[in-house]
Amino acid sequence: MATDEQTLSETARIARAALANVAPEPGVAKPDPIMTAEGVRRSFGGITAVDVERVEIQRGSITALIGPNGAGKTTFFNLMTAFDTPDTGKWWFDGKDLEGVQAHKTADMGMVRTFQLTKSLTKMSVIENMKLGATGQKGEKWWNGLLPFTWLAQEREIEARADALLARFKLDHMRNEYAGTLSGGQRKLLEMSRALMTNPKLVMLDEPMAGVNPALKQSLNQHIKGLRDEGMTVLFVEHDMDMVHDISDWVIVMAEGMIIAEGTPDQISSNPAVIDAYLGAHQGKSLLEDL
């Protein structure tokens, strides 16, 4: 832990200090929440996929959302980003009520999400995928489409930004290839960097590490920490506890649709309720034992 403290970046130290005095209880209030959900429920037929009494996401932090398969993490993401509508409940982003706000509007407000099953636009090139991510494009109005002088300057700016991101995520050598030719891990990277093209305040990543090879995982870790250093808030779903412990400032645990625990990574690793929920689902092998 000692080395860890030394390698922490400035923003990480601020984020952790802000959360140091927050009680490790489900639904606890945060000093500066960017997203809040209250009484959000969603059921499919007989099963209740999500039943969250209250949860807050601290601004400027990296928050991990963990829980066994079927816990409702993806459904929770869908509800927050308006890809699905809850049966009841209210939720806010950056102080704004999101009830009835359409999915594409949430992205405009600064909330972007990726998908558990990667959604690369396979028949478009990598760079076109990236450029699609930029918001507020003048050329996306059909009447401007025929008047290149209205959008060419902006297009060049967007392209430069896209190229910089591709270089950062080491995808620049694939720039002009079809996205469909990328490996699974590269597609995850592309989807994440495409999401960043929207200039988000909150980045919600659904299992960004799934299918990514170990070498790439390490650098993906660094990239996610980098997002916080640039002032973004990150909420991500992950199964690998080592990685959760490595990069997150706060951990939220879901099981059977409910938030069953919250706390710093250290607090969560020693929480009996979590060990129960996890071990119940993972048949004995402790994911937390080496912590």
Partner 1 sequence: MNWSNILTATLSAFFGVNAMYFALSAIGLNVQFGYAGLLNFGQAGFMACGAYAVGMTAHYYGISFWWGVPIAVVYAVIFGLIMGVPTLRLRADYLAIVTIALAECVRLIVRSVTFKKYFGGSDGINQFANSFVSKTPFNPSSKYSLYPFADSVNAVGSVLLLVSFAVCSVLLGHMLAQKWAKEERQGFQTKWIISAVAVMAFLMIASKQTEYDGLSFKSLVVGWILAAVIGGFIYMLMRSPWGRVIKGIREDEDAVRSLGKNVYSYKMQALILGGVIATFSGIMFSVSRGSVQPDNYSRDVTFYVLTALVLGGLAKVSGSIVGPMLFWAILSFVDAFLNELAKSWGGHVDIFGIPLITESSHIGVYVQVVIGLMLVFLMVFRPQGLFGNKKEMALDGH
Ligand X SMILES: Nc1ncnc2c1ncn2[C@@H]1O[C@H](COP(=O)(O)OP(=O)(O)O)[C@@H](O)[C@H]1O
> Which residues here bind ligand X, judged by CB under 6 A?
44, 47, 49, 67, 69-75
Residue pair 209/41 in contact (Cβ under 8 Å)? The answer is: no
Q: How far is the CB of 223 from partner 1 (least distance, A)?
A: 19
Q: Pick from 172, 156, 152: which is nearest to 164 by CA?
A: 172
Q: Pick from 291, 184, 197, 191: which is nearest to 248 by CA?
A: 291
Q: How far is the CB of 163 from partner 1 (least distance, A)?
A: 16
Q: How far is the CB of 146 from partner 1 (least distance, A)?
A: 6
Residue 24 interacts with which of partner 1, Mg ion, ligand X, none, CB < 5 to 8 Å by class? none
Binding footprint of partner 1 on the chain (CB under 8 A): 81, 83, 102-105, 107-108, 112-115, 117-124, 128, 131-133, 135, 137-142, 144-146, 148, 151, 155, 178, 180-181, 191, 194-195, 197-198
Residue pair 57/203 in contact (Cβ under 8 Å)? The answer is: no
Q: How far is the CB of 72 from Mg ion (least distance, A)?
A: 8
Residue 85 interacts with which of ligand X, partner 1, Mg ion, none, CB < 5 to 8 Å by class? none
The residue among 64 and 174 lying less far from ligand X, judged by its C-beta, is 64
Residue 75 interacts with which of Mg ion, ligand X, partner 1, none, CB < 5 to 8 Å by class? ligand X
Q: How many residues does the chain have?
A: 291
Q: List, in order, residues 6 or more apart from 219 with CB less than 8 Å away.
A: 170
Residue pair 249/64 in contact (Cβ under 8 Å)? The answer is: no
Q: Pick from 280, 274, 235: which is nearest to 253 by CA?
A: 274
